[in-house]
Amino acid sequence: MVNKRGQEGWTLTNLLIALAVLVVVVVGIYYVYSYASTSSEQYLPSDLQKIAVACEVSAKLGDFGKVDYCTQPKPVTLGGNTVYVNCAYSEVAKYITDATLKKSCDDVADKVSMCNSLKVSMGSNWNSENVKVNDEQCNAILRELVGPPAP
């Protein structure tokens, strides 16, 4: 029925125009999506900032909250690796505004407690050489507690 009066079929030109419109729509959707995802990252708090806020809230609970903000490991992905941190971690501490909270954790004892807590919670997945607490391997933290091996 092509070439009859008043009727026209899909020509090559019409197909190319339809393809071009489709490409423009797909590129437009991709542009809007990529813009929205990159600009939203600017305004959302980082994991470290969220932990700092949680630290300040826990600090208001007094000694009861100290257990949470000093000894409970919080996982953070830094540079593709998972590191467990507490409120004494330097990158978290720079977001904390309460000066008394910054000095309240006992660094060595709390790191040991966090390593032991992770050892229990990870079970068979525990590897003291791969698990890091505040950027330090649990293997080294636990070795400090026990001391160097006897000769």
Chunked into runs of 10 residues, the chain (151 residues) has average pLDDT values of: 59 86 92 72 71 77 67 79 80 73 68 84 80 83 64 51
Do 58 and 125 belong together in one domain?
yes
Question: Number of folded domains in the chain?
Answer: 2
The Cα 34–Cα 105 span in angstroms is 41
6, burial (CB in 10 Å: exposed 0-12, middle 13-18, buried 19+): exposed
Same-domain pairing of 102 and 52 = yes
**How high is the pLDDT of residue 58?**
74
> Are 56 and 19 found together in one domain?
no
Both 38 and 91 in one domain: the answer is: no
Range of the domain at 72: 47-146
107 and 37 housed in the same domain:
no
Give one DSSP letter per residue of 30-97, joined into a string.
HHHHHHHHHHHHHHSPPHHHHHHHHHHHHHTTTHHHHHHHHHS-EEEEETTEEEEE-TTSHHHHTT--
Please tell me whether residues 59 and 129 are part of one structural domain.
yes
pTM over the 0.85 mark: no
71 & 128 share domain = yes
Residue 99 lies in a domain: yes
